[in-house]
């Protein structure tokens, strides 16, 4: 199959393209310039693979949770490209993508949600498929849901920002912490592939972001203080 995957839910622009047994990727810290760079970089990957957008079988994208603006960019680009080329799309939870990117089987995925909060979910991989043990939520680090058992691996920027608090909560559960793991387009591609291959992906018109936090805007004062959603 020929699949394009993309993610802009963090400060990284992550792209992946699979064409049969060949793969092409781009991963770059772009800050808040993803909207300017994503389409040109997608075209570069297509050119490297010597295919056109219309040759694709589908698009997978990081649907969130994550940066409100970044999630909207990924969803909008996937929807626009998919609609224009009549391609199905698969929206992938970015916390699950972080778990997939970690290469581990028992994962507590935490992404920094700003404003003193984290996006949180826990997954166990069995027989090659992820099973949600703790549902995706947004919460204060000190309110992270309790988990049973050991050998859990903490991944994601939430561990970098609030590692001390989270490590205390999960002291009896953790075997390792990997705070530098981010959702990647390669992981999103792998997670979206089954739905796309089985014909279970959605039409582009139904592409939708995953919003966990109800607040989608900051007050003027919060912006002046440098806070971000």
171 with 187, same domain: the answer is no
User: Considering the domain boundaries, does residue 49 fall inside one?
Assistant: yes
- Residues 108-141 have pLDDT tens digits of 999 999 999 999 999 999 999 999 999 999 999 9
112 with 191, same domain: the answer is no
Answer yes or no: is pLDDT of 6 > 50: yes
Q: How far is CA 197 from CA 3, 60, 205, in A?
A: 10, 12, 19
66 with 107, same domain: the answer is no
Strands 58-64 and 22-29, how do they pair? unpaired
CATH of the domain at 85: 3.30.420.40
Average pLDDT over residues 42-65: 98
Instruction: Find where tokens 């993309």 sit.
Output: 6
CB distance 181 to 14 below 8 Å: no
The range of the structural domain enclosing residue 37 comes to 2-94+183-224
Answer yes or no: is pLDDT of 68 > 60: yes
- Residues 189-205 have pLDDT tens digits of 999 999 999 999 999 99
User: Considering the domain boundaries, does residue 40 fall inside one?
Assistant: yes
Number of domains in the chain: 2
88 with 144, same domain: the answer is no
- Residues 98-108 have pLDDT tens digits of 999 999 999 99
21 with 64, same domain: the answer is yes
SS3 for 199?
coil
User: Considering the domain boundaries, does residue 206 fall inside one?
Assistant: yes
CB distance 6 to 66 below 8 Å: no
pLDDT band at 218 (very low <50, low <70, confident <90, very high): very low
User: Considering the domain boundaries, does residue 229 fall inside one?
Assistant: no
Answer yes or no: is pLDDT of 224 > 80: no
pLDDT value, residue 220:
54
29 with 44, same domain: the answer is yes
CB distance 186 to 101 below 8 Å: yes
């Amino acid at each position: 199959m020929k699949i394009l995957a993309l993610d802009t839910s963090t400060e990284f622009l992550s792209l992946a393209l699979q064409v049969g047994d060949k793969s092409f990727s781009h991963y770059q810290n772009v800050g808040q310039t993803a909207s300017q760079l994503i389409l040109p970089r997608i075209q570069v990957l297509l050119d490297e693979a010597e295919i056109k957008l219309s040759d694709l079988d589908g698009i997978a994208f990081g649907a969130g949770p994550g940066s409100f603006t970044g999630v909207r960019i990924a969803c909008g680009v996937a929807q626009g490209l998919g609609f224009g080329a009549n391609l199905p799309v698969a929206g992938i939870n970015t916390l699950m993508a972080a778990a997939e990117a970690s290469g581990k089987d028992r994962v507590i995925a935490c992404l920094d949600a700003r404003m003193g909060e984290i996006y949180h979910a826990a997954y166990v991989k069995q027989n090659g498929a992820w099973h949600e043990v703790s549902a995706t939520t947004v919460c204060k680090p000190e309110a992270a849901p309790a988990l049973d058992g050991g050998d859990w691996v903490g991944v994601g920027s939430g561990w970098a920002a609030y590692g001390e608090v989270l490590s205390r909560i999960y002291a009896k559960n953790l075997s390792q912490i990997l705070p530098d793991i981010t959702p990647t387009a390669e992981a999103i591609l792998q997670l979206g592939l089954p739905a796309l291959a089985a014909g279970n992906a959605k039409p582009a018109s139904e592409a939708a972001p995953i919003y966990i936090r109800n607040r989608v805007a900051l007050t003027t004062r919060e912006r002046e203080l440098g806070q971000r959603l």
